[in-house]
Amino acid sequence: MKTLFIHGAEDMRFDDTTVPEPSAGEVLLRVRFVGICGSDLHYYFHGKNGENLIREPFTPGHELSALVESDPSGQWGPGTPVTVHPARYGTPEDDIADHPHLWPGGDYLGSAAGFPHRQGAAAEYILVEKHMLRRLPPNLSLRDATLAEPLGVALHALTTAGQQLGNRALVLGAGPVGLLIVAALVARGVEHVAVGDIQESALDRARSLGADETFVVGRDEIPSTAFPIVFECSAAPPSLSQAITSASRAGVIVQVGTLADADITVNLSGLVSKEIQLRGTFRFSTEIDDAIEMLTADSAAAAVVTHVLPAAEAVSAFEIAKDSAVSGKVLIEF
């Protein structure tokens, strides 16, 4: 079978590998679609994602849809359409019992955080544990189901915001996750969803998903002290400063974008004077199940996908995904 490996920065190619045999508790999947995430881009273009350095040939991908190829237990029949919860949780801790995605020692499909690396989904066939499988409804396409993981991330950001959604929200950064947050806010009935981004094309995509107001960052004036909830999705320090400026008094900022593991310059003054809460959000716990329900009930979020390329054009797919001026979510079809 063909498996995509990143060997180092901008060195990615398909290698021939053996189709794996499932052991007890495992299921063999025939991969159909894999989404390209920001972390995948970092691994390819930089050879690392944050502090996670590629130390062996590494297969990216944690957003996927697939068909069951074989299950030794017979529980999952051949051809069953599925997506995958990419997490294997670590050691339970009582004080965060309801946050299993934060338990220490866990891992994630397509992550180089540990060694040996947790290889990802960009291959013709992969093995996963049965508990990671999520059955897809008949009316949810495999293409659209690939969004379940990133939409789960978006919905977890809403969970992190708590009861603060109210009637007005601002999303800063209209990349794929930011766009999915827009779709989720609209689906949840938030009356006024505003979006800021440096790219006009990204704002066009946000409007197509239901955004009520858009701002070109650096050109348009974004209202101050105007939004009870702000989702910062770009991970750019000036954007976090803008989030603090735009958040209402006693508002909440949810930091969705993964900030650099380094000292950054941010104006935090308003965080104190306006009693703003700054909350981090990381992956998700159970929200992938809510994401499947949302995608099944309403296909609007599927508009986040702008490109689907065949596996043979994987390198081109990564190049397109890197360019936010032309792409939203980019999928690779196997």
Question: Among 145, 146, 132, 118, which Cα is nearest to 54's?
Answer: 118
User: Fold match between 2-150+284-333 and 153-280?
Assistant: no
Residue written as token pair 């013709």:
124
Segment-wise mean pLDDT, segments of 10 residues, the chain, 334 residues = 98 98 97 98 95 96 99 97 96 92 94 97 98 98 99 97 86 98 96 98 98 97 97 97 98 94 92 97 95 95 98 98 96 99
- Burial bucket for residue 136 (CB in 10 Å: 0-12, 13-18, 19+): buried
Task: Dihedral sign for Cα 290, 296, 302, 303, please.
Answer: negative
Domain ranges for the chain: 2-150+284-333, 153-280
Question: How many CB atoms lie under 10 A from the CB of residue 223?
Answer: 13
Residue written as token pair 């306006």:
274
Strands 87-88 and 107-108: antiparallel
Residue 58 DSSP symbol: B
With H, G, I as helix, E, B as strand and everything else as coil, classify residue 61.
coil
Strands 26-35 and 125-129: antiparallel
Residues contacting residue 331 through CB under 8 Å, at least 6 positions apart: 33, 34, 35, 36, 143, 146, 305, 307, 308, 309, 317
Reply yes or no: is the peptide bond before residue 116 cis, omega within 30 of 0.
yes
- Burial bucket for residue 77 (CB in 10 Å: 0-12, 13-18, 19+): exposed
pLDDT at 50: 84
| CATH architecture of the domain covering 2-150+284-333 | Alpha-Beta Complex (3.90)
In this prediction the pTM is 0.95
| Rounded Cα–Cα distance for residues 189 and 55 (Å) | 45
- Segments in 23-175 forming alpha helices (H): 38-46, 142-145, 148-161
Beta bridge partners of residue 91, listed in sequence order? none
Residues contacting residue 69 through CB under 8 Å, at least 6 positions apart: 27, 28, 29, 30, 78, 125
Which of the following CATH numbers is that of domain 153-280: 3.30.420.480, 1.10.150.530, 3.40.50.720, 3.30.470.20? 3.40.50.720
Q: What is the DSSP secondary-structure string of 258-283?
A: ---SS------HHHHHTT-EEEE--S
Question: Among 206, 209, 207, 86, which Cα is nearest to 150's?
Answer: 86
pLDDT at 272: 97
pLDDT at 274: 98
